[in-house]
C-alpha cells in the first residue's frame, strides 16, 4: 500500500511536465557518409538525406518524432575479375554503388537540460529500397537503429549528427563465383550491413 501511494505521488508530481503537449511539423535535410561493413577495401560515399516529420513535445525533457525519410547511401570499392577460380586476376574495375531508401523512423529525443536545446537521439527505422545501381540484388527492406546528438535553437532551427546502423544483410541471395571459391569470407561468410553517418539541419514549424 505504501509503494502504491508513493507511486501515485510521483506520478502526480510529474503531471505538470506532461500537461503542455505540442505538435509541430518539420523538415530535415543533410548529407550522408555511407559504407557497408565487412567489404574489403571499400570507402564511404557522400549522399543526401531528408525527412518530413511530426514532432510531439510530451515533456520538457522528452519529444517523440515520427519521420518519413529519404536516404541516398552506398559505398565505393574495387571489383577484381578472374576467368576461373585460382586463375590470375585479369581486370579490376571501380565498384560505386548507390542505393536509395524511403523509410519510416521513430526518433526519441531526450533533452539533457529540460527546455534547453542540447538533446540525445535514439530510435529505429524501417527502410525500403526503391532503386539502386548495384550489379547484385539488394535486399528490398532494411531495418536500422540510429543514435546521435543535436542542438535546437529557440526559433525551431536545429542541427543533428546521427549514426545509423543497418541490421539486415544488404545482399539478396548474392553469390559471386570468384570470391566464393577464393575466399568464402570475402562475400559469403560475413554479413554486409549499411553503415551511415548523417549530418543534418532541420526546422520545426509553429511555436
> Could you read off the pLDDT of 161-173 as tens digits, one per residue?
999 999 988 876 5
Per the structure, the complete domain to which residue 68 belongs is given by 27-204
Please check whether residue 143 lies inside any domain of the structure.
yes
**Are the beta carbons of 158 and 201 closer than 8 angstroms?**
yes
Residue 48 belongs to domain with CATH number: 2.40.160.20
pLDDT of residue 38: 76
Please check whether residue 19 lies inside any domain of the structure.
no
Please check whether residue 3 lies inside any domain of the structure.
no
Q: How far apart are CA 157 and CA 47, in angstroms?
A: 22
Q: How far apart are CA 113 and CA 198, in angstroms?
A: 24
Could you identify the residue written with the cell 546528438?
149
Please check whether residue 75 lies inside any domain of the structure.
yes
Name the band, by pLDDT with cuts 50, 70 and 90, for residue 79: low
Please check whether residue 171 lies inside any domain of the structure.
yes
In the predicted structure, residue 61 carries a pLDDT above the cut 60 = yes
160 burial (CB, 10 Å; 0-12 / 13-18 / 19+) is: buried
Angle (CA) 39-165-29 rounded to 5° is 110
Name the band, by pLDDT with cuts 50, 70 and 90, for residue 2: low
Please check whether residue 124 lies inside any domain of the structure.
yes
Strands (DSSP E) contained in the chain are 22-36, 45-59, 62-81, 91-111, 118-132, 141-152, 157-166, 194-204
More confident position, 2 or 129: 129
Q: What is the mean pLDDT of residues 136-147?
A: 86
Secondary structure (DSSP) of 1-46: -HHHHHHHHHHHHHGGGGS--EEEEEEEEEEEEEEETT-TT-B-EE
The model scores a pTM over 0.85: no
Please check whether residue 103 lies inside any domain of the structure.
yes
pLDDT of residue 14: 52
Please check whether residue 4 lies inside any domain of the structure.
no
Measured in degrees and rounded to the nearest 5, phi and psi for residue 17 equal -65, -25
Q: How many structural domains are present in the chain?
A: 1
Amino acid at each position: 500500500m505504501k509503494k502504491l501511494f508513493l507511486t501515485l505521488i510521483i506520478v502526480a508530481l510529474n503531471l505538470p511536465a506532461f500537461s503542455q503537449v505540442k505538435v509541430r511539423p518539420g523538415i530535415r535535410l543533410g548529407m550522408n557518409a555511407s559504407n557497408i561493413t565487412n567489404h574489403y577495401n571499400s570507402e564511404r560515399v557522400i549522399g543526401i538525406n531528408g525527412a518530413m516529420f511530426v514532432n510531439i513535445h510530451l515533456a520538457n525533457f522528452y519529444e517523440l518524432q515520427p519521420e518519413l525519410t529519404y536516404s541516398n547511401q552506398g559505398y565505393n570499392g574495387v571489383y577484381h575479375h578472374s576467368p576461373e577460380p585460382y586463375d590470375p586476376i585479369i581486370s579490376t574495375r571501380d565498384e560505386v554503388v548507390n542505393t536509395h531508401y524511403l523509410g519510416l523512423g521513430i526518433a526519441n529525443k531526450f533533452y539533457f537540460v529540460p527546455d534547453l536545446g542540447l538533446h540525445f537521439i535514439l530510435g529505429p527505422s524501417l527502410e525500403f529500397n526503391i532503386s539502386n545501381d548495384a550489379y547484385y540484388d539488394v535486399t528490398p527492406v532494411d531495418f536500422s537503429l540510429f543514435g546521435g546528438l543535436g542542438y535546437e535553437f529557440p526559433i525551431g532551427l536545429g542541427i543533428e549528427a546521427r549514426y545509423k546502423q543497418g541490421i539486415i544483410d544488404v545482399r539478396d541471395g548474392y553469390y559471386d563465383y570468384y570470391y566464393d571459391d577464393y575466399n568464402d569470407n570475402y562475400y559469403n561468410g560475413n554479413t554486409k550491413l549499411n553503415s551511415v553517418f548523417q549530418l543534418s539541419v532541420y526546422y520545426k514549424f509553429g511555436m
